[in-house]
């Protein structure tokens, strides 16, 4: 008799997802499916609008990383108009982006990864959340998290015109600059962010690396996959979130390809499965071989861990020291253990904070030349940035008036759809065996497999009730529920 276990929905607030685990006659895992509904009609929605509206519209796709869509949209619009923004504009955009990264990575670590590691994967469910983390490690840390978010929002508002959904980037630069006083204020906040990044890495070292059980969990086979890794790099092959070329390395760490944004279609193809609307991107040069590891499989991963693996180092000194410690501790490059993504995320947080300080230290960022008026006839253009959860590609086509005729987006998490599917499969198969009583902690450990990727699917909707309870249904072959577990907190 086949059994089916359904984890549905994982979340509602930022996209409704469902994990289905099918058991075979022996009670072992036969297969798993990670399904999410796709938000529909975005291209149709964009066609016929002036392209300069797209950086504003695309940032409404996602409730979590609108800043990333705004940046990719702005860069694609620059490319459509064949205009190169002046240095001040690039610095301002990048500065906004660093502040956003600090906020986003902070929230993920303290609100999502933290509960699993600070409280423990099998901690009582009512305590496994950010409030539990704060109560355990101290109110002072909660204050720092809130402060980090506040500073991040303030910088986004100063440069982007609004908190969270910035609106100032247009083809050729920005609609406004910042004052010298604002620059000094941003610099002060950046210096605090660097200290916060260092503090967070120390906390990770003390709580996670200082606990053998967690180190064993990270290094264990359950959460390990050997795939290709993608990330954007600068001319020195150091990580860059805003600009550069996309580099892909193999499971052996060697470079497979490094391409400019407008070449992405030569390198990325999409595989379709009958059980999901979302497509699975893969590397054209390697080919789709299914949901499998190894150098012959075109599956790639685009996450903080992937970015570290795909780069030769970090562009700032403190983050570089942490980068070296990371690989020394975990046995060299590349690191394949997916739970190490949480550590990689904190190294990126420190880099973002350091780069924030670098950018805000240069008086040119407050200069008056923040826009170049486009003069070329618009055609098509590609913009790529590294979103916190993966390489984000926007590709726009327009007519000669700059009116959109076609749009293609490859969003951060979509890159990771195949590896997330593989990670869930492996965790479920490792943790649920014949005779296993499927408990809440076991399901949480399955969820930890996808949580490491910080996935973000169709995340614009906010309809209440916001978060719905996890419901696990075990069904027989005819679809009749034989056991239902509802995971309410209270």
- From the list 57-65, 75-83, 181-189, 306-314, the region that binds other proteins by CB under 8 A is 57-65
Residue with tokens 């490319």: 79
Nearest residue (CB) to other proteins, 348 versus 358:
348
Please report, for residues 135, 159, 303, 328, 331, the alpha-carbon distance to residue 222 in angstroms, rounded to integers and kept in the order given.
30, 43, 18, 21, 17
| Residues 262 and 397: beta-carbon distance below 8 Å | no
By CB under 8 A, name the one of 4, 444, 452, 475 that touches other proteins: 444
CB of 185 to other proteins, least distance (A): 19
CB of 333 to other proteins, least distance (A): 28
| Binding status of residue 411 toward other proteins by CB under 8 A | no
Phi, psi of 212 (to 5 degrees): -60, -35
CB of 10 to other proteins, least distance (A): 7
| Residues 249 and 255: beta-carbon distance below 8 Å | yes
Nearest residue (CB) to other proteins, 66 versus 86:
66
Residue with tokens 């969270």: 164
What does 314-336 look like in DSSP terms, one character per residue? -SSHHHHHHHHHHHHHHTSSSP-
By CB under 8 A, name the one of 129, 262, 276, 430 that touches other proteins: 129
Nearest residue (CB) to other proteins, 82 versus 153:
153
- From the list 120-128, 188-196, 264-272, 312-320, the region that binds other proteins by CB under 8 A is 120-128
By CB under 8 A, name the one of 37, 205, 294, 295 that touches other proteins: 37
| Binding status of residue 304 toward other proteins by CB under 8 A | no
Q: Which of 395, 428, 413, 344 is nearest to 23 (CA)?
A: 428
CB of 243 to other proteins, least distance (A): 25
CB proximity list for 15: less than 8 A, separation 6 or greater = 36, 37, 456, 457, 458, 459, 461
- From the list 198-206, 242-250, 325-333, 460-468, the region that binds other proteins by CB under 8 A is 460-468
Phi, psi of 371 (to 5 degrees): -150, 135
CB of 260 to other proteins, least distance (A): 30
| Binding status of residue 458 toward other proteins by CB under 8 A | yes
Please report, for residues 8, 194, 268, 313, 477, the alpha-carbon distance to residue 317 in angstroms, rounded to integers and kept in the order given.
44, 12, 33, 10, 57
Q: Which of 102, 98, 78, 100 is nearest to 173 (CA)?
A: 78
By CB under 8 A, name the one of 143, 210, 287, 363 that touches other proteins: 143
By CB under 8 A, name the one of 412, 418, 447, 452 that touches other proteins: 447
| Residues 94 and 352: beta-carbon distance below 8 Å | no
CB of 96 to other proteins, least distance (A): 17
| Binding status of residue 60 toward other proteins by CB under 8 A | yes
| Binding status of residue 11 toward other proteins by CB under 8 A | yes
Q: What angle do CA 104, 108, 113 make, to 5 degrees?
A: 165
By CB under 8 A, name the one of 1, 24, 48, 131 that touches other proteins: 131
Nearest residue (CB) to other proteins, 4 versus 144:
144
Nearest residue (CB) to other proteins, 167 versus 265:
167
Phi, psi of 92 (to 5 degrees): -65, -45
CB of 129 to other proteins, least distance (A): 4
Q: Which of 221, 278, 226, 241 is nearest to 38 (CA)?
A: 278
Q: What angle do CA 428, 304, 203 make, to 5 degrees?
A: 90
Burial track 89-119 (b if 16+ CB lie within 10 A, e otherwise): bbbbbbbbbbbbbbbbbbbbbbebbbbbbbb
Beta-strand relationship, 268-271 and 280-283: antiparallel
Nearest residue (CB) to other proteins, 58 versus 237:
58
Please state the separation of Cα 471 from the chain's center in Å.
26
By CB under 8 A, name the one of 463, 478, 479, 480 that touches other proteins: 463
What are the residues binding other proteins (CB under 8 A)?
A: 10-15, 37-42, 44-45, 57, 60, 63-64, 66, 107-108, 111-112, 115-116, 119, 125-126, 128-131, 134-135, 139, 142-143, 146, 149-150, 153, 164-165, 443-444, 447, 451, 454-470, 487-490
């Amino acid at each position: 008799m086949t059994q089916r276990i359904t984890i549905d929905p994982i979340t509602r607030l930022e996209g409704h997802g469902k994990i289905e685990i099918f058991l075979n006659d022996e009670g072992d895992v036969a297969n798993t499916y990670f399904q999410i509904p796709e938000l529909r009609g975005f291209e149709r929605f964009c066609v016929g609008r002036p392209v300069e509206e797209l950086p504003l519209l695309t940032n409404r796709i996602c409730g979590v990383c609108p800043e990333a869509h705004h940046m990719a949209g702005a860069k694609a619009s620059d490319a459509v108009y064949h205009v190169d923004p002046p240095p001040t504009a690039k610095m301002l955009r990048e500065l906004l982006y660093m502040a956003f990264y600090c906020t986003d990575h902070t929230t993920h670590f303290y609100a999502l990864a933290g509960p699993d590691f600070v409280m423990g994967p099998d901690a009582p469910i009512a305590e496994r959340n950010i409030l539990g983390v704060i109560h355990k490690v101290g109110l002072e840390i909660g204050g720092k998290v809130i402060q980090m978010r506040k500073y991040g929002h303030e910088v986004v508002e100063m440069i982007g015109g609004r908190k969270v959904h910035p609106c100032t980037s247009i083809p050729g630069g920005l609609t406004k600059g910042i004052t010298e006083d604002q620059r000094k204020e941003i610099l002060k906040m950046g210096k605090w962010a660097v200290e916060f990044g260092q503090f967070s890495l120390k906390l990770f070292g003390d709580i996670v690396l200082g606990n053998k059980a967690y180190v064993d969990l990270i290094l264990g086979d359950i959460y390990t996959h050997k795939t290709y890794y993608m990330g954007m790099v600068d001319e020195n092959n150091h990580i860059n979130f805003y600009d550069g070329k996309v580099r892909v390395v193999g499971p052996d760490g060697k470079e497979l390809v490094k391409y400019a944004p407008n070449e992405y279609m030569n390198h990325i193809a999409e595989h379709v499965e009958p059980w999901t609307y979302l497509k699975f991107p893969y590397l054209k040069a390697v080919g789709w071989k299914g949901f499998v590891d190894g150098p012959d499989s075109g599956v790639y991963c685009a996450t903080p861990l992937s970015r570290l693996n795909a780069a030769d180092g970090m562009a700032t000194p403190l983050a570089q020291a942490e980068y070296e410690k990371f690989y020394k501790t975990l046995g060299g490059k590349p690191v394949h253990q997916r739970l190490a993504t949480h550590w990689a995320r904190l190294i990126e947080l420190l880099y973002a904070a350091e780069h924030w300080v670098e950018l805000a230290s240069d008086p040119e960022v407050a200069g008056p030349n923040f826009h170049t008026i486009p003069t070329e006839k618009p055609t098509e253009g590609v913009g790529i940035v590294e979103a916190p959860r993966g390489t984000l590609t926007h590709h726009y086509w327009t007519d000669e008036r700059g009116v959109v005729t076609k749009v293609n987006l490859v969003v951060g998490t979509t890159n990771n759809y195949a590896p997330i599917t593989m990670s869930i499969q492996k965790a479920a198969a490792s943790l649920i065996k014949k005779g296993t009583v499927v408990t809440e902690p076991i399901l949480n450990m399955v969820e930890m497999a996808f949580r490491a990727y910080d996935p973000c699917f169709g995340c614009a909707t906010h309809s209440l009730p916001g978060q719905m309870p996890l419901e696990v249904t075990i069904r027989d072959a005819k679809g009749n529920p034989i056991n239902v577990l509802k995971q309410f907190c209270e």
